[in-house]
């Protein structure tokens, strides 16, 4: 289940992904497979080579890409999530989703 985002943010993320840009979408998320994680940041890009190159910066493997139709993306959690958001200049999302505590984990 995902919540904490709106249609405008989702639409903008989808447009950026389809345009071949590296795009970030953070939202609250509950999944029993990932206990202790209550947010996820989806980093997507339709240009798979660019997405793989971006992921290498954070030690992400190409096989971790979620190949959703038209919206391939990595799902980020924890320290990597916070680091990637800060590196992208998205400190406002770290604040909005109260992710500072993940830096210390």
* Segments making up each domain of the chain, as ranges: 2-104
> Whole-angstrom Cα distance, residue 38 to residue 2?
10
Could you write out the DSSP letters of every residue in the chain? Answer: -EES--HHHHHHHHHHHHTT--EEEEEEE--TTSTT--EEEEEE-S-HHHHHHHHHTTT--GGG-EEETTEEEEEE-HHHHHHHHHHTT-HHHHHHTT-HHHHH-
For position 104, what pLDDT does the model report? Answer: 61
- 10-residue mean pLDDT profile of the chain (105 residues): values are 81 96 94 84 97 97 93 94 96 92 63
């Amino acid at each position: 289940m995902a919540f904490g985002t709106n249609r405008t943010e989702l639409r903008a993320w989808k447009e950026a992904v389809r345009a071949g840009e590296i795009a970030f979408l953070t939202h609250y998320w509950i999944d029993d497979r990932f206990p202790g994680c209550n947010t996820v940041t989806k980093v997507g890009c339709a240009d798979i080579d660019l997405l793989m190159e971006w992921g290498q910066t954070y030690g992400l493997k190409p096989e971790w890409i979620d190949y959703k139709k038209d919206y391939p993306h990595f799902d980020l959690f924890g320290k990597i999530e916070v680091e990637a958001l800060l590196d992208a200049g998205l400190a406002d999302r770290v604040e909005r989703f109260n992710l500072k505590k993940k830096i210390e984990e």
